[in-house]
A and B are shown apart, each in its own frame.
Chain A
Amino acid sequence: MLCQECGKRPATLHFTKIINGDKNEFHICESCARERGEGLPGAPNGFSIHSLLSGLMDFEPSGKASSPSQIAAQALRCEQCGLTYSQFTKLGRFGCSSCYKHFEDRLDPLFKRVHGSTSHVGKIPQRSGGLIKTRREIDRLRQEMKSSIQKEEFEAAAGLRDEIRQLEKQLHGASEE
């Protein structure tokens, strides 16, 4: 089979593209594939989740390309591992856990796009997560107290208030130690 693009070389790449449910088959040769920017599966320069991500990371909420804030972002650098923000957008991967702190201001739009959310609500480490657990519990109890007050169940609300105070005391004691 000849390449459907140039009609000269034999087609060595056969793939199916599905865009919004429309299925298209392509049979092209390697050099035409490169020209069209189709990644070769398995090849090192192939299309990957990481290159897809880097497209998302250039996302600028204000909408203007090369705005001052975007230029500032490119100069951002993780003090721990030395990875720059612009390297991060190309790699699609963080270099170390401190990158999360140093790129903090830039990450919300990215996480929103990938996960539809920006903060963790799942499992918490047993050992190092004790305080976090207490804080989450307090938040939960506060919500509950609010809804009790709205329903005019004041007795229940008072009970919850005492529970919150108790936990806050614990939290305070732990952070002073």
Chain B
Amino acid sequence: MSTLHFAVMAPFIAALVVLLIYKITRRIHTGWLILPVPVLLFVYFLGLIPSIQAGNPVHEVLEWIPSLGINFTVYLDGLSLIFTLLISGIGSLVVLYSIFYMDKNKEAVHRFYIYLLLFMGAMLGVVLSDNLMVLYGFWEMTSISSFLLIAFWNHRDRSRYGALKSMLITVFGGLAMLAGFILLYVMAGTFSVREIISNLHTITDHALFIPAMILVLLGAFTKSAQFPFHIWLPDAMEAPTPVSAYLHSATMVKAGIYLVARLSPVFAGHSLWFWLVSATGLVTLIYASVRAIKQTDLKALLAFSTISQLGLIMSLLGLGSAAAYFSGSVDTLIYTKATTAAVFHLMNHAIFKGALFMVVGIVDHETGTRDIRRLGGLMTLMPITFTVAVIGAFSMAGLPPFNGFLSKEMFFTAVLHAASMEFWNVETWGVLIPIVAWIASVFTFVYSMILVFRTFTGRLQSDKLEKQPHEAPIGMLIPPVILASLAIVFGLFPNLLSYSLIEPAMASIHPSLLQPGGFNVKIEFWHGWTPEIFMTIAIIIVGTLLYFLHGKLAVLNTALTRKLSLNHLYDWGLRSLEGGGRSVTKSYMTGSLRHYVLYIFVFFIAVLGGSLLLTDHIRFDISEFAPMSIYEAAAVIGLVVPAIVLPFVRTRLMAIILTGAIGYMVVLFFVLFRAPDLALTQMIVETVSVMLFLLCFYHLPKLKREKVAMSLKWKNLLISAGAGAVVTLIALAASSDRAFESISEFFVKESYTLAGGKNIVNVILVDFRGFDTMLEVMVLGIAALGIFALIKVDSGEGVLGKREAASDLHLPNSNDVILRTISRVVIFIVLAFSWYLFMAGHNEPGGGFIGGLMTTAALVLLSMAYGMDMTKNIIPVSFRRMTAIGLMIALLTGVGSFLFGAPFLSHAFDYFDLPLLGETELATAVLFDLGVYLAVVGVTMTIINSIGRDN
């Protein structure tokens, strides 16, 4: 675990700490507690700049699932560094801002910060993972934390709607991306991005190259809100404003940009990549900028502006990918300018948009509204906020001397270059690229102006505001002021960034074009009277005209037809999916047990019967069958007749007796077929079961003649007979034909040599398959607890009334003298026998199960003869505790084998020459069996006591 790994984990650890301590630190705003986390991270990443600049990326491996090629590998190069600085830097400012935005007395702030920290860690994981699978995991984690943050005010319908929408769209994209990653793995044989890049020749001509590209782009486009997946971002504005500033403008929505940049070395150079990325970006850019000027809500305006700007960065990355078409020639440098612009604008956008979101948050916080129709004239009331707004908005509009101006100019350079490209069919459409870019920039100018001047100039409409507006507290002003200062600093001294950050990032995006000495990025504030500067001047003129006219131009204000909008499509799709799903489910989930059983068995008959028929496995090889004697025939009749009679009997008692009779006949068969352990177990179980039947059904009403329609009856009969026939065929097919040798030979051969037991069945249970047995006893334990809970935890009044139930439902408390006299002797015989069964179990029929059940039988007899209270006096133990002790013994026996370096539940045995007893075998398996014994006694007695004592 390296420092870099720790940096990724730090926010998660902090989230855990907040969860543990927020209750004791109520008096301090949780934000203060976590502020050091992003600040320290920011300092740490700043400290890494020199080594990254020198071309020494950090690369650390932490093995996770090496057999699948999945390792938690962190890799920090120039590209990752920019993102880590954004995440930690903007993160610090947002946390500071939120301390004043979120009221600790009114909101669950600890929850807010836990989600925020989760996001921070996940986002760092996304940009630092070299392994695609790990990257995917963190990617989805950002979607989830975004979901939680959007729905932070989850009492609002709109919040929940927006959260669900963003989740559905980004997770859909995430899944597509996962599929793309898997295709990359199929082609390259590795999940490591670096290894894929170094083995490019294996994948570029692969048939799966294009599908992988499209799937990965789906992930990137949904996350970065590109058209037509942008619809989630405006609804995500329901989140608290610090979240919008952080996730939905500066960091998370840029994850798609990151992914495109990160995988550019893999896919760039293909014309489809160029077209998809550039065209999607440009369409998003112009569409969202037009939509933005129609918004009346400041945050919605910023949301569309963010979408539009993300489109701009995306299109720049697409245009930059053209550089990969050439290798080594001078022409490449022209196209890499687009990439430079993308990286530069990425940072600029985070800076000015972060500031603008914070400004909107302040306006919302101080006036109670974000509606520009109600705002105006705030300039004199909030001078600092106004200044920040002007800087941010002018930067966004691309006006000098702010940073946005420079990247906008570089954007124009890039589109002008692209227009003159003479390959990949750009000739046909290339002319459109600068035109689209210019028009979109005009709209960008207009909405930037709307944002500032509609809010801060004009007449103050105090009557429409809920609060008397005034300047925000200082803590809320510091973060946007810092960002606004940065916008000026980077505008005037862009080369502060170009050497330290942009050049290393370029090296990560275009590794194949890397010249010795690295990329030489130099951003000039003033580069003469170029076409770009004329384009900017034209934007200012046309934009200003449009700003004044747009109130009068209806075209610009009316929304698109509602029915045709993408949002409508999304809503309709979701509604019909839900409705369709519900009606399909309702059609067969009827709530009737009969129907469910019918489904299961119709399926059973169709699949098993069908496959028997189709594979020609119906066989009657009677020649090898065992012969049948007359008394065996009688036993078969004794089994079948009560079964056939059972459906016709009308009294409860008769039905129970017939079922019991069938059970005892099964015991007889176990004896006939040489299964003494089974016979013993079944006999005791049957006895105890019949007793339980009688106990429980003493009250139930008489079996009624069921009024069932004849057709239903026939249907039941048909299905039952069909299932019976299929089972008969299976039994015949299985015993006529062996597909492969049974593994039981192993048990017969090794039972004595490996486990030291002569009773093979018992050895299988306690030794070879001991783990099964342990879990099985646990199932019994759970059933016992369930019964206990059903009986004891019964708060409401029953239909029969408590009193009545109490008087009737007891173990039949016999006053029969004969029973009492006999049982006094018999109990000891039974107990002694049960102990013998338990001890002999390893070599003779018997064992923990049978012994335990036999002991239970003795205890039940005692209770019947003397009553339950007497039994309790004689044996003052808690049977539930006994169950637990038994399970613990079994478990500890299993764990004990770890002490000897052996796997769980390994057993040892040896022979000892003990005084009096002679040579005796002592095996740890017996200890395990003792656990089983105790557990079985505990469970069965808990069951019987619970039922018998119900009052």
A binds B: no
The residues of B with any CB-CB pair to A shorter than 8 Å are none
The residues of A with any CB-CB pair to B shorter than 8 Å are none
